[in-house]
């Protein structure tokens, strides 16, 4: 899983990537679409696939996928390279032409720069009917990446523990959620909520991805580009961050957040030592695997929507995970595209991971059965204005997808830093409004 004041390092990285991209954009045939071959047996070559899933490289899973791929494309050899520090390593490599043939688009690459680094995969207008999340990599009407899978926003929780606490239905409001957490703590002795403060990333993407779940609005994230008060009363971010503050302030999270551990948290939740964590639906499979290893019932692991209803209905955003792209410098673009298409359409990877397929025609995964059975509205988040939102976020030095600002929120809630939630929101709004006038213009 990739974990996510502009620092000098980030500014340097951005400048280096931009410089590398200028060279890439002018390469012969650089604008050539990476089209899938019409005849699978006519395409050949060796392609290198870069991945953040080092575990799937080490246990041979990806090698087994390649063997199946070769039944259709016998002349293509697929090599994998698992990279532990994927973001850090790949953005350095992108100062050269050598960053694999297929890669996951690093978060450090500005959306507007995609054409400098990646070959277009086709016109977005024709691809969007077949694939989800195409607007995430759409630049000038062309798509530059296809999602490995999508994930739904929600809370992983121990159903047996909540049942023991006498809770039989999902909380439909932030206040109900807080009341339920208190009941879990009082009646079971378990830690009601686990922030994973120390690892940081669980305080960034999972919470920010709830934008849209609160308002049931696919364009809620895009709207951040046109507001000067994202934390104003009643906004998605106000509801989201107020809930996190209240959970910690009311003593419903771990006693010492500075000692949390992501890997051990999976076992703790599986054993009923902690009751819930806000994460993407990708985490369900990992939690159930942890339950099996701990000798517990994997069916005790459940998934509930963010505790807000709109018109009497729960909503959950669907967001894209990493997107696979073709290196614009690749000498085997057809083979690279063949791998991306096969991996998306035929490998079964998203179903195995319990994730949402990038293919619109594919059914929702079994991991989301509770959502489909209870008519949770799935809201595919628009990424049309992501570049503008990111530019404002960076200029404001807030970091919606970085842990720092919510770690400060947790510290304010537990009294480790002085200040009030109201004053913090006022400061965030001020910084955003100032940045919106410059970066957003």
Mean pLDDT throughout 298-305? 97
Mean pLDDT throughout 401-421? 96
pLDDT tens digits along 281-293:
999 999 999 999 9
Query: Which helix (H) or strand (E) element contains residue 181?
Result: helix 174-188
Q: What is the mean pLDDT of the chain?
A: 91
pTM here is 0.84
Alpha-carbon distance of 157 to 192, in angstroms, equals: 10
DSSP state of 117: H
Q: Would the pLDDT of 178 be above 90? A: yes
Q: Tell me, what's the pLDDT at 30?
A: 54
Mean pLDDT throughout 346-354? 92
Q: Tell me, what's the pLDDT at 10?
A: 33
Minimal CA–CA distance to 308: which of 373, 362, 242, 261? Answer: 242
pLDDT tens digits along 217-240:
999 999 999 999 999 999 999 999
Minimal CA–CA distance to 228: which of 6, 399, 439, 437? Answer: 437
Q: Band the pLDDT of 440: cuts 50, 70, 90.
A: low
Q: Tell me, what's the pLDDT at 28?
A: 39
Rg (CA), the chain: 22
Beta strands in 247-300 (DSSP E): 276-280
Mean pLDDT throughout 347-359? 93
Mean pLDDT throughout 254-276? 96
Q: Tell me, what's the pLDDT at 76?
A: 97
Mean pLDDT throughout 294-323? 96
Alpha-carbon distance of 249 to 193, in angstroms, equals: 12
Alpha-carbon distance of 185 to 276, in angstroms, equals: 11
Domain with CATH 3.40.190.10 in the chain: 8-147+322-362, 152-318+385-438
pLDDT over 70, % of the chain: 93
Q: Would the pLDDT of 140 be above 90? A: yes
Q: Tell me, what's the pLDDT at 439?
A: 85
- SS3 breakdown of the chain: % helix, strand, coil, rounded to 5? 45, 15, 40
Greatest distance between any 2 Cα atoms in the chain: 67
Alpha-carbon distance of 209 to 226, in angstroms, equals: 18
Q: Would the pLDDT of 183 be above 80? A: yes
Mean pLDDT throughout 126-137? 94
Q: Tell me, what's the pLDDT at 441?
A: 55
Mean pLDDT throughout 118-127? 96
Q: Tell me, what's the pLDDT at 110?
A: 86
Q: Would the pLDDT of 23 be above 70? A: no
Neighbours of 240 (CB within 10 A): 23
Q: If you count them, how many residues does the chain have?
A: 441
Alpha-carbon distance of 146 to 359, in angstroms, equals: 10
Mean pLDDT throughout 57-66? 96
Residue 101 · residue 326 · CB < 8 Å: yes
Q: Band the pLDDT of 174: cuts 50, 70, 90.
A: very high
Neighbours of 160 (CB within 10 A): 17
What is the CATH T-level fold of the domain 152-318+385-438, as seen in this structure? D-Maltodextrin-Binding Protein; domain 2 (3.40.190)
**Token representation of residue 103:** 């890669």
- What count of Cα atoms within 13 Å lies in the side-chain half-sphere of residue 342? 22
Q: Would the pLDDT of 43 be above 70? A: yes
Mean pLDDT throughout 332-353? 95
The hierarchical CATH code for the domain 8-147+322-362 is 3.40.190.10
Mean pLDDT throughout 84-94? 93
């Amino acid at each position: 899983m990739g974990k996510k004041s502009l620092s000098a390092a980030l500014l340097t990285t951005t400048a280096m990537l931009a410089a590398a991209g200028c060279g890439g954009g002018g390469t012969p045939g650089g604008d050539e679409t990476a089209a899938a071959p019409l005849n699978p047996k006519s395409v050949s070559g060796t392609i290198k696939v870069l991945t953040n899933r080092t575990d799937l490289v080490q246990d041979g899973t990806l090698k087994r996928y390649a063997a199946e791929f070769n039944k259709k494309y016998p002349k293509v050899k697929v090599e994998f390279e698992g990279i532990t520090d994927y973001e850090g390593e790949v953005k350095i490599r992108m100062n050269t032409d050598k960053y694999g043939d297929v890669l996951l688009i690093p978060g450090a690459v500005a959306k507007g720069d995609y054409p400098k680094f990646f070959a277009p995969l086709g016109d977005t207008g024709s691809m969007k009917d077949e694939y989800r999340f195409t607007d995430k990599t759409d630049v000038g009407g062309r798509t530059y990446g296809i999602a490995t899978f999508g994930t739904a926003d929600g809370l992983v929780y121990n159903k047996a523990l909540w049942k023991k606490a006498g809770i039989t239905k999902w909380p439909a409001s932030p206040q109900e959620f807080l009341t339920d957490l208190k009941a879990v703590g009082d009646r079971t002795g378990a830690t009601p909520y686990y922030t994973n403060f120390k690892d940081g990333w669980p305080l960034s993407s999972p919470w920010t991805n709830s934008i849209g779940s609160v308002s049931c609005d696919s364009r809620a994230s895009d709207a951040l580009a046109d507001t000067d008060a994202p934390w104003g009363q009643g906004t998605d971010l106000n509801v989201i961050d107020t809930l996190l503050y209240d959970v910690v302030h009311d003593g419903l999270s771990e006693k010492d957040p500075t000692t949390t551990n992501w890997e051990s948290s999976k076992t703790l939740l599986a054993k009923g030592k902690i009751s819930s964590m806000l994460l993407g639906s990708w985490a369900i499979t990992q939690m159930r695997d942890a339950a099996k290893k701990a000798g517990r019932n994997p069916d005790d692991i459940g998934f509930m929507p963010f505790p807000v209803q709109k018109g009497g209905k729960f909503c959950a955003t669907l967001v894209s995970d990493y997107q696979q792209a073709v290196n614009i410098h690749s000498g085997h673009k057809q083979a690279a595209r063949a791998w991306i298409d096969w991996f998306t359409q035929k490998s079964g990877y998203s179903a195995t991971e319990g994730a949402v397929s990038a293919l619109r025609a594919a059914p929702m995964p079994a991991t989301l059965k509770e959502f489909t059975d209870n008519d949770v509205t799935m809201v595919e988040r628009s990424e049309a204005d992501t570049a503008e939102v990111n530019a404002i976020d960076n200029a404001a030095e807030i970091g919606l997808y970085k842990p720092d600002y919510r770690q400060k929120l947790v510290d304010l809630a537990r009294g480790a830093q002085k200040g009030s939630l109201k004053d913090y929101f006022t400061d965030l709004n001020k910084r955003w409004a100032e940045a919106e006038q410059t970066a957003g213009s």
